[in-house]
């Protein structure tokens, strides 16, 4: 699985970190950071939830 985060679209809502803290973290600048761009398949449901919850569609998940 490949996760892409378009930081320039991020508004720092934090929903991604709340739903998949193993993959996303909100940094000191208030914007999301990608901790793991290629998480295992066991993280797919959490990553999909983060993708769907992102208000600016900054996250994409490809399997």
Domains parsed from the chain with CATH numbers: 2-62 (3.30.70.20)
pLDDT band at 60 (very low <50, low <70, confident <90, very high): very high
Grade residue 50 by pLDDT with cuts at 50, 70 and 90. very high
Q: What's the pTM?
A: 0.94
Is residue 38 very low, low, confident or very high in pLDDT (cuts 50, 70, 90)? very high
Question: Distance (Å, rounded) from C-alpha 2 to C-alpha 23?
Answer: 11
DSSP state of 59: E
Confidence of residue 13 (pLDDT cuts 50, 70, 90): very high
Average pLDDT, the chain: 98
Give the β-pairing of 2-5 and 24-26.
Answer: unpaired
Backbone angles phi, psi at 39, to 5 degrees: -70, 160
């Amino acid at each position: 699985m490949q996760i892409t985060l378009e930081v320039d679209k991020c508004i720092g809502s934090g929903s991604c970190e709340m739903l998949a803290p193993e993959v996303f973290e909100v940094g000191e600048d208030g914007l999301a950071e990608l901790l793991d761009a290629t998480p295992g398949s066991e993280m797919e449901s959490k990553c999909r939830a983060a993708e769907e919850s992102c208000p600016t569609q900054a996250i994409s998940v490809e399997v």
